[in-house]
Amino acid sequence: MSKIMFKLNIKYLAIFALCITIIVVSMNMNYSFIARFFECLFSFDEQVKFLYENGDIPTLNGDYGFFEIYAKYNDIFYYGYESMIIWSTQLFQILLPVIASICSFWIFRELDTIDVFVLSRKDGYAKYISKKVVLSSLKVAIAFFAAYLLLLIFVNQIADKESSLSARYILTDIFSENLYYDHIFIYFLLEGFIRFFIMPFIYSFFANALALVVTKPWQSFLYSNLYYFALTLVGGVILYLGGIGSAISNIAIYFMPSLLMGSGDYYGFSTILIILTNCIPLFLGIFLIYKKARSYERL
């Protein structure tokens, strides 16, 4: 049973592994993470001695954890909690729709193969196909969020929680800035849920729904990515021409999916409204499933 479950979910485990790899690569690009990690791993005692002689730790034979020494020796806390989260996830601003859309290839492939045999023994095409699309999208979202959660736990162990000077805007219109300053782990957990669960779910769902109506498997992948990058490009041009703070720019930011995946440099928007406008692909996907179900039932 476990082997069957593993085979059924191997593509989602691969997405999880890919997300972890992207995070590690991003950390390494900005913090030389890999080299410093192995340096600490193989020269732990030497680093403890160096920190003791430098006055950074009180005793030479203390019960020090790996991450404590790693952080102190490499001065990781200098970069701060927020900086490590931002720079370790920066590549997802581009790669999110690309990775989230991958499973649409399997949805398309199974539509005229496995699904034909399953549907012959089931009633209700709409219910079956909706469940299939939602379940696949949920697994993709879980893969993304699990990778982010590991990053957050790691950052929480080594980064300086007092180093961030100003709160990020998203969520502060709901919870106020106190959540960021007083409970920074919970803040980034909630923000990460939006960026690394809701957003992957939306674009995976959109691509999977597109796979039900297109004629070629690459089309669902292309159209979902085209939507993301086209809106980002148009929004970026409007921001550039109109300037941050202008009326047209204040509207444009609600339709830029990359804004939620970015570093949060924009202010004055409604968190709830920006989540809802980013749910447009989700609503389009629901319409496509309904359309596909109607056409199937007419056969």
Both tokens assigned to 198: 């809701």
Instruction: Provide the pLDDT for residue 280.
Output: 94
The pTM assigned to this predicted structure is 0.84
- Comparing 41-55, 95-109, 127-141, 170-184, which segment has the lowest mean pLDDT? 41-55
What is the Cα–Cα distance from 129 to 134, expressed in whole angstroms? Answer: 9
Q: Please name the residue ranges forming H helices in the chain.
A: 2-31, 33-42, 44-53, 66-74, 80-88, 92-100, 104-111, 114-119, 125-158, 172-175, 178-182, 184-193, 199-211, 217-242, 247-252, 257-261, 271-277, 280-297
Both tokens assigned to 139: 């697994």
**Residue labelled with tokens 């782990």:** 185
Write the pLDDT tens digit of every residue in 264-281: 556 677 889 989 999 999
pLDDT cut 70: percent of the chain above it:
73
- Residue 256: phi and psi, rounded to 5, are -105, 100
Domains in the chain: boundaries = 94-297
Mean pLDDT on 32-61? 68
Q: Which residues of 142-181 are buried (b: 16+ CB within 10 A; e: fewer)?
A: bbbbbbbbebbebbbebbbeeebeebbbbbbeeeeeebbe
**Residue labelled with tokens 């089931």:** 122
Write the pLDDT tens digit of every residue in 95-105: 999 999 998 88
